[in-house]
Every structure is written in structure tokens, then in C-alpha cells.
Amino acid sequence: MASQFLNHFKILFVLILIFINPFLFADNFKYSELQIKDYNEMLNQVKDYIQNSKKLSIENQKKGDDETG
């Protein structure tokens, strides 16, 4: 459970760095709507991935409980 949390944390941390990176190193902060839309889409995909992996881990845990007991 803890290792799964660490994996999610690593993924989120890297994606946050990727998201913040252009703002830290850009000369100007003017971004087109398309780039902002791409970032939002990427973040939505990350949320979906985390929700799906949580569902899978709960299902796998239930399967393990069913097999053992």
C-alpha cells in the first residue's frame, strides 16, 4: 500500500515539474490556449490513471481476500 502511494507520488511529482517547468524558465508567460488545453488534458489523463489504478488495486485486494478466505 505504501509503495503504491510512493509510485503515485512520484508520477504526480514528475508531472507537476513538467507542468511548472515552462513557467520557471520562460522569458514570457504568454501561452496559447492550445498549450493550456494540452496541459489540462494531460492532467485529466493523470487523474483518470490514478482513479483506474485505485480501482484495480481495490479489485485485486478483494480477489486476494476471496482467495484466502
Per-residue pLDDT of the chain (69 residues; tens, 9 = 90+): 677 778 888 888 888 877 777 666 655 555 666 677 788 888 899 899 989 988 888 888 887 766 665
* Domain housing 44: 2-68
DSSP secondary structure, the chain, as one string = -HHHHHHHHHHHHHHHHHHHHHHHH-SS----HHHHHHHHHHHHHHHHHHHHHHHHHHHHHHHHHHHH-
Question: Would the pTM of this model clear 0.75, i.e. be above it?
Answer: no
Q: Report yes or no: 22 and 64 within 8 Å, Cβ to Cβ.
A: no
User: What total of structural domains would you count in the chain?
Assistant: 1
